[in-house]
Amino acid sequence: MINAKEFVAAFAELQEKTNIPADVIIDALKQSLILAYQKKFQEKNANINAKARVDVDETNGSIRFYAQKDVIDKPDDNSYDSSYEILLSDAKK
């Protein structure tokens, strides 16, 4: 696993060697992580469209990944799945 310092150095080197703008590299990284998450998620739940958001800070190397869930008031007949849904009462916490 790469640490934050190595990530920042690799990011700077990639920018320098390719002349690709930072925002383009960051966007490609974000999209790649989201697509990998969706692929992994859909292997288990083929009918569900997994939603996520990724934040990348190229200055300190932090990457934050957020799974976006559907907020529901009450589960329908044992169909509640916490992997893509969250109860309204829990979302308010």
Task: Give the pTM.
Answer: 0.71
Do β-strands 70-72 and 85-87 pair in parallel, antiparallel, or remain unpaired? parallel
pLDDT at 46: 66
All structural domains of the chain, each given as residue ranges with its CATH number in brackets, are: 4-91 (3.30.1480.10)
pLDDT at 1: 65
What are the b/e assignments for 58-90, b being 16+ CB within 10 Å?
Answer: beebeeeeeeebeeeeeeeeeeeeeebbbbeee
pLDDT at 27: 92
Tens-level pLDDT at each residue, the chain (93 residues): 668 788 888 888 999 999 999 899 999 999 999 999 888 877 777 667 778 999 988 888 888 999 888 888 887 777 777 777 888 888 888
Do β-strands 51-57 and 85-87 pair in parallel, antiparallel, or remain unpaired? unpaired
**Residues forming a β-bridge with 73:** none
pLDDT at 9: 87
